[in-house]
């Protein structure tokens, strides 16, 4: 982890879309910052009672939720994790524990870029079918991903400090 993170600051002004996307991109960059510079062993090291709550595991999970909410829910693509998650609800954590950290970071960044492209072509009020007869709009998905990414960025901050003592907002 570098002392100076390369994160886009969320805009202090702007329309709703600009600010929502700005905060999500800030959090995504924070995730990458907290995961960067670790060895595979450090990224997989369990530091809390949950053996799956590791840097690698959380990064695998965040990649999955990006893929699910943006590519599956909003873009209507097939859920490539569905069968694996039916067998093991923690499959994305377990797969990540066997994947090199640099590969996990690259996959996360690629998934985030795909997510950006998907929402760029949609309005915040655009609705899509969701789990049966329900609907969800783009605004909900972005807000949910801000919450999800922010929560896990906090976990990563703690794990990073426990790993090598490095801190930073």
Phi and psi angles of residue 164, each rounded to the nearest 5 degrees, phi first? -140, 10
Digitized pLDDT (tens) for each residue of the chain, 169 residues in all: 445 667 888 888 899 999 999 999 999 999 999 999 999 999 999 999 999 999 999 999 999 999 999 999 999 999 999 999 999 999 999 999 999 999 999 999 999 999 999 999 999 999 999 998 999 999 999 999 999 999 999 999 999 999 998 887 7
Output the pLDDT for position 167: 80
- The CA distance from 46 to 51, in Å, is 5
Task: Measure Cα distances from 10 to 23, 69, 114 in Å.
Answer: 5, 22, 20
Quote the pTM value: 0.94
Q: Which residue has the tokens 């369990």?
A: 46
- The CA distance from 59 to 31, in Å, is 8
Domains of the chain: 17-164 (1.20.120.450)
**Residue 10 carries which DSSP code?**
P
What the block records as the tokens of 14 is 């702007």
């Amino acid at each position: 982890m570098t002392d100076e993170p390369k994160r886009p600051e969320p805009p202090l002004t702007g329309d709703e879309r600009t600010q929502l996307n700005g905060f999500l991109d800030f959090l995504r960059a924070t995730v990458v910052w907290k995961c960067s510079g670790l060895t595979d062993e450090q990224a997989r090291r369990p530091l809390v009672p949950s053996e799956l709550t590791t840097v690698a595991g959380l990064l695998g999970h965040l990649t999955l939720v990006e893929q699910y909410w943006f590519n599956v829910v909003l873009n209507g693509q097939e859920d490539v994790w569905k069968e694996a998650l039916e067998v093991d609800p923690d499959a994305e954590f377990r797969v990540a524990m066997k994947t090199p950290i640099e590969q996990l970071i690259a996959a996360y960044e690629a998934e985030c870029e795909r997510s950006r492209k998907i929402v760029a072509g949609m309005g915040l009020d655009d609705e899509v079918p969701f789990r049966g007869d329900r609907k969800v709009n783009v605004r909900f998905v972005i807000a949910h991903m801000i919450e999800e990414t922010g929560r896990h960025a906090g976990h990563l901050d703690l794990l990073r400090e426990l790993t090598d003592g490095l801190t930073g907002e």
